Amino acid sequence: MTTTRSATSTPSPTPTPTPTPTVSSGAQASLYQQLRGHLATLKLHDAAEHLPAVLDGAHAEGLSLTAALERLLAIEVDATESRRLAGRLRFACLPTPATLADFDYDAAPGLDRHLIDELATGRYLESATNVLLIGPPGVGKTHLAVGLARAAAHAGYRTYFTTAADLAARCHRAAIEGRWATTMRFFAGPTCLVIDELGYLALPAEAASALFQVVSQRYLKTSIILTSNKGVGSWGEVLGDTTVAAALLDRLLHRSVVLNLDGDSYRLRAHHARGEALRATTTGTRQPLR
């Protein structure tokens, strides 16, 4: 990619071809090795790996130096972003591969799809808004929580998934082992914290107090996505203390989006549909399998 310009100011009418001074192939090879060395020193490993292909492509397509450099660095930027995303998803510990894209809105008629689309942008995380998903078992609360958490990780936010029981157990162990402050800092860290399944088990007083501390320290700073099979009116029973429940709800609901999911369990719907289809097959009136 060496270009030479004539030093003469008045171009001759019949330019005689002058031999283009080229860098010897040995010097080229050494420059190439130096460039690879620079990329390796700077830990731009993906750029280093793709250097030969980019140089060949640039040569074949007659790309400018700027365009070739942009192409090379774009490869490194893409690879860095994918690595960071993979790291965020690993850290998030999402329990299922559920995404918002594979959520069937027809099966959740009461749900405002536009609201979910808005939440999928992650803007609510900027205002530390909480999301509460309330409804009976099997209606898709965990699916939506995982989908929202995944969307948050994709949008660049630090995300973590836990269950109320797991959070309580970890706080209990932390208290015994003298790691309370570290554990509280851990639960304060992620921009998006999912606490799944509040209400399935009644929490001992100590666990309710741990949950209250986690909620309090995140209040107005970072978001919580919380799922529960119990309406907020029953949280006093779940937490074993109506005063703690009221204080917790006060903080959670102050800036929040509450999604009430009801209807039939998706698990049972699928189960019933299979049963119906089987019955129809055996009685001769076939229905499509869902």
Binding site for Mg ion (CB under 5 A): 141-142
Our CB check for ligand ADP shows the closer of 59 and 290 to be 290
Closest approach, Cβ 218 to ligand ADP, in A, equals: 22
234 secondary structure, DSSP code: G
Element (H, E) at 67: helix 65-92
- Residue 235 binds to ligand ADP (criterion: CB under 6 A): no
Residue 88 interface partner, choices ligand ADP, Mg ion, none, CB cut-off 5-8 Å depending on type: none
Interaction between residue 138 and ligand ADP (CB under 6 A):
yes
Residue 98 binding ligand ADP, by CB under 6 A: yes
- Give SS3 for 175: helix
Q: Which of residues 22-51 bind ligand ADP (CB under 6 A)?
A: none
Closest to Mg ion by CB, 183 or 229: 229
Q: Are 230 and 164 in contact (CB under 8 A)?
A: no
Residue 150 within binding range of ligand ADP, rule CB under 6 A = no
* Smallest separation, CB 193 to ligand ADP (Å): 17
- Residue listed under structure tokens 């029973």: 237
Residue (90 or 290) nearer to ligand ADP, CB: 290
State the Rg of the chain over Cα: 30
Contact flags string 183-222 toward ligand ADP, x per CB under 6 A: ----------------------------------------
Q: How far apart are CA 99 and CA 265, in angstroms?
A: 18
Cα distance from N-terminal residue to C-terminal residue, the chain: 61
Read off the tokens for 51: 């250097």
For the bound state, the minimum distance from the C-beta of residue 122 to ligand ADP, rounded and expressed in Å, comes to: 20
* From 59-67, 135-143, 201-209, 240-248, span contacting ligand ADP (CB under 6 A): 135-143
Is the Cβ of residue 138 or residue 190 nearer to Mg ion in the bound state? Answer: 138
Report the residue from 142, 162, 163, 209 that binds ligand ADP according to the rule CB under 6 A. 142
Question: Parallel, antiparallel, or unpaired for β 159-163 and 256-260?
Answer: unpaired
- Amino acid letter for position 250: D
Q: Under the criterion CB under 6 A, does residue 131 sit at the interface with ligand ADP?
A: no
What letter represents residue 48's amino acid? A
- Nearest-CA neighbor of 19 among 10, 28, 6? 6
- Helix or strand or coil: residue 4? coil
Residues shown for the chain? 290
Residues in 256-285 at the binding interface with ligand ADP, rule: CB under 6 A? 266-267
Amino acid at 127: S
**217, 224 Cβ separation under 8 angstroms:** no
Q: Which of 56, 78, 81, 104 binds ligand ADP (CB under 6 A)?
A: 104
Of the candidate spans 8-16, 87-95, 98-106, 208-216, the one that interacts with ligand ADP by CB under 6 A turns out to be 98-106
Measuring CA to CA, which residue among 74, 71, 67, 63 is closest to residue 1?
63
Strands (E), the chain: 130-134, 159-163, 192-198, 223-228, 256-260
Q: Which is nearer to ligand ADP, 187 or 266 (CB)?
A: 266
Q: Which residues bind ligand ADP (CB under 6 A)?
A: 98, 103-104, 107-108, 135, 137-143, 227, 266-267
